Amino acid sequence: MYVNVENATRCRATYMHCKAGKERSTTIMLCYLVEYRYMTPIAALEYVRSR
């Protein structure tokens, strides 16, 4: 898993990917949104789906 933490903490565009493509990137993104953007899990999932 690769995440540019510097970009994420500065609210800049951040590319995130999982080498094996096993949906781990989505899980990490949802956790990030819940923890650091104070979204509910449902709101975070809806946000990711809309993107």
Distance CA 4, CA 15 (A): 7
The secondary structure element, H or E, covering residue 16 is strand 16-17
- Active-site residue (options: 3, 18, 28, 30): 18
Distance CA 45, CA 26 (A): 9
Active site residue 18: yes
Active site residues: 18
